[in-house]
Structure 1
Amino acid sequence: MMMISKAEAAASLSEADAIGRRTRTAGGYAMAGPHLILWGAVWLVGYTVTGLVDPRFLSLVWLPLVPAGAVGATVLGRQARTRDVRFGATPIRSLVMAVSIALFFLAVYLVFQPAALAPYLVFSALVTALIYVVIGVYGWPRLGWIGAGMFVASMSAYFFAGSYLPFCIALAGGGGLMLGGAWLRTV
């Protein structure tokens, strides 16, 4: 019978813990990837159409897109559960999250009432970028990099895109999420 030292046992346990963390992170990335691609597509369509219509009709652009994204996210969550990937998402939690986010943006827009269209367009991109950076800080670094990229691209568009801002935000946000989702799927 071979005996191992306390140091060897501690090193083995530490290595097992690190493998477990990497496995959970990879599983999380695998689940997050399709969600980022979905919401990136919603974003890309929404902001592109936003750039093409009269600003008075923006609610008509986004009103069908957000619920469609929420339904798609619910379907993706159900598929993930059938693959035994569990991160606490349920259809009701997905719905509550989508409605909460939509109400948050609506409330901010009602309270601050920007006089121009640009703040409306950039605010959601910046909040989304912040969320991904915060998630990245708490253990999912690829999401942090996606958020940082979205932030830089959105602010650059805000200052330099002029009348092309909706299309640049479509690419910065929607394209960034879709590319990020594809990147997460490579883990």
Structure 2
Amino acid sequence: MTNPCSSQQERLAAAAEELVRAAVSESDAAALAIGRATVAGLDEMTKGSASLKESLEEKLNTVNENISDLKSDVTSIKESLTTIVELMKNEHRNKRIEFALSNLDLAVGKQFTYEYKIESSITTKQGEPKDLFQSILQAFRKGEGLPLPTFFPGYYRNESEKDAYPEAKRTEVVNILHNLLGVKPRVEVDDDGRHTIYYA
């Protein structure tokens, strides 16, 4: 005879087994649903991040274009300012030269005299100071330099006095022009040994 308890236990065991299977099946289904939802969420995030990346790249390209345009504008402004500054310098220089030309008689007068050596000769000649300074200032007006005469004393007591005369006269010319212009001209030695005076 079968034990009624045993049959009941078997039924309970079978029912428990069915419950466990149902729970596992439901758990698997829930896990599968969660997994699918997670994958779907990840897909959405991937699509969203791709869209965000494209949007950021577009914005970055726009910013780069704007920076490039700005650099171009700044370069153009710099060039314009450089041109304006040069024009202002030239205008200022020309005003100084015009002032110097109009006040030449007062500045030079009889205080400056010089002698120079005539080319290919041992003879010296008394120079015209006003003519010299006018020639220099007119060369400055053109943006050029002017070779100075070969200063040479007509009379000298010794060789050192003779040797010092040209430099002293060049310095005197520079100082007079400096007082007239407010800018100290420069003197450069040319390849042929002559001295040329420039505005600055």
Give TM-score, length-normalised by structure 2.
0.29
Q: By percentage of residues, which structure has more helix?
A: 1
Q: Which has the higher contact order (CA 8 A, sep 6+)?
A: 1
Q: By percentage of residues, which structure has more strand?
A: 2
Give TM-score, length-normalised by structure 1.
0.31
